[in-house]
């Protein structure tokens, strides 16, 4: 995502909420930009003037759907902060470089240039940001911190305090957190990932998912893995990846040294790049300063938020979004009343 889009959230004030709360039993943690980008790319909804608004309608409906599905007592939407990738680029300068700007799949006919698309995305993201301020949802974004780190920190903190965390994202990196009170809902696969489902789909246990990703790489973040090494080959070298056993880096090296497969020698030769990937991909040990951790805790410990239905309705009317929101009144009440005191 471009820095211009991320700056949208730097200009929004999400601090106008009340103070003082204890954590609830179940929280929903939504990957904000992941959800918005998928909505913008895939939802073709137009307003009555023929302007694309799918990023907004898709985002709001996605948040509504997953909130009704899991019935959390708190909802957090997390976005990347400005310069969020800096800490990881200090370790590996090519981190996330080369990402191509998003296009609306095969629907780019309604935009003539890449700039048109970026401007439209920015416009729709501003509406999303304003809408979130009217909902009983806590939005978190911090300069120099990636959304993945904030989401992981919140999820683990909730569990450490006796709660349950549900992460909403298509990002496979979150599967390393599955277990111990943390689940991942993937809206594309329409699956709730618990350890057994991760093993069923990937043949890798969540305890070893970070190590698996570090070895095979992540093209979306421009992190190269071991050439020629996929899941099936990896399991031939280290069958224990499918088990609950917490494998270590040394376990993998030992297995590679005892393997006759040609790709095993590459694992031995590229140990430093594997270690680098582990450091960059780890979400158990997040890249967040103590000061920013305190800021996050202050946000998530605020009291139950209010639903400002009148203000939300006015915003959606002024931006021509409302006509595209079918059964709007019942949607708002059934989705967000359980989260909040109702301000009308």
Angle, alpha carbons 301-306-307 (nearest 5°): 135
Rounded CA-CA distance 240/150 in Å is: 30
Q: pLDDT: is 114 or 271 the higher one?
A: 271
If one compares 135 and 111, the residue with the highest pLDDT of the two is: 135
Reply yes or no on whether the pLDDT at 40 is more than 60. Answer: yes
DSSP strands (E only) in the chain: 26-31, 74-78, 138-140, 164-168, 182-186, 191-193, 217-218, 223-224, 306-307, 341-342
Residue 75 three-state SS: strand
At residue 102, the pLDDT reads 57
The contacts of residue 193 (CB under 8 Å, 6+ apart) are 175, 178, 183, 184, 185, 186, 201
Length of the chain: 344
For residue 21, is pLDDT > 60?
no
The pLDDT tens digits of the residues spanning 98-120 come to 666 555 544 544 556 778 888 99
| pLDDT tens, position by position, 139-192 | 999 999 999 999 999 999 999 999 999 999 999 999 999 998 999 999 999 999
Task: Find all residues with CB under 8 Å of 2, minimum gap 6, and list them.
Answer: 101, 118
Segment 206-215 mean pLDDT: 97
| Predicted TM-score of the model (pTM) | 0.90
What average pLDDT does this structure show over 215-228? 92
CB atoms within 10 A of CB 274: 20
The pLDDT tens digits of the residues spanning 323-340 come to 999 999 999 999 999 987
The Cα–Cα gap between 169 and 30 comes to: 7
pLDDT confidence band for 315 (50 / 70 / 90): very high
* Percentage of residues of the chain with pLDDT beyond 90: 75
Query: Which three-class secondary structure string do you get for 122-154?
Result: HHHHHHHHHHHHHCCCEEECCCCCCHHHHHHHH
**Pairwise pLDDT comparison (110 vs 231), residue with the higher score:** 231
**CB-CB contact of 31 with 78 (8 Å):** yes
Q: What is the pLDDT of residue 83?
A: 81
Give all domains of the chain, ordered by start, each with its CATH number: 3-146+287-325 (3.40.50), 198-281 (1.10.150.20)
N-terminal to C-terminal alpha carbon distance within the chain: 35
Please report which confidence band the pLDDT of residue 85 belongs to, taking 50, 70 and 90 as the band edges: confident
Q: Give the Å distances, CA to CA, from 43 to 1, 6, 38, 238, 333.
A: 18, 21, 8, 42, 24
Lowest-confidence pick of 23-32, 67-76, 200-209, 245-254: 23-32
């Amino acid at each position: 995502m471009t820095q211009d889009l991320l700056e949208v959230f730097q200009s929004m004030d999400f601090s106008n909420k009340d103070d003082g709360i204890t954590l609830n039993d179940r929280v929903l943690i939504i990957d904000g930009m992941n959800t918005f980008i998928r909505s913008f790319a895939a939802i073709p909804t137009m307003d009555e003037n023929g302007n694309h608004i799918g990023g907004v309608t898709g985002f709001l409906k996605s948040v509504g759907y997953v909130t009704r599905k899991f019935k959390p007592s708190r909802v957090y939407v997390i976005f990347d902060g400005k310069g969020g990738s800096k800490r990881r680029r200090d370790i590996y300068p090519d981190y996330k470089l080369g990402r191509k700007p998003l296009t609306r799949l095969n629907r780019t006919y309604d935009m003539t240039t890449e700039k048109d698309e970026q401007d439209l995305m920015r416009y729709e993201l501003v509406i999303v940001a304003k809408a979130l301020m009217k909902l009983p949802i806590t939005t978190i974004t911090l300069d120099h911190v990636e959304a993945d780190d904030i989401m992981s920190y919140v999820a683990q903190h909730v569990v450490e305090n006796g709660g349950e965390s549900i992460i909403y994202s298509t990002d496979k990196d979150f599967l390393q957190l599955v277990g111990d009170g943390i689940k991942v809902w993937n809206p594309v696969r329409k699956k709730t990932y618990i350890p057994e489902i991760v093993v069923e789909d990937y043949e890798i246990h969540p305890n070893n998912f970070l190590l698996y990703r570090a070895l095979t790489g992540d093209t979306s973040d421009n992190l190269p893995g071991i050439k020629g090494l996929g899941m099936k080959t990896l399991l031939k070298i280290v069958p224990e990846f499918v088990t609950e056993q917490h494998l270590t880096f040394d376990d993998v090296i030992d297995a590679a040294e005892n393997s006759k497969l040609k790709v095993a020698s590459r694992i031995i030769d590229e140990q430093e790049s594997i270690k680098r990937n582990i450091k960059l991909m780890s979400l158990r040990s997040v890249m967040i300063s103590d000061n920013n951790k305190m800021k996050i805790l202050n946000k998530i410990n605020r009291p139950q938020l209010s639903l400002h239905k009148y203000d939300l309705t006015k915003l959606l009317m002024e931006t021509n979004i409302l006509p595209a929101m079918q059964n709007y009144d019942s949607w708002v009440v059934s989705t967000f009343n359980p989260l909040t005191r109702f301000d009308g």
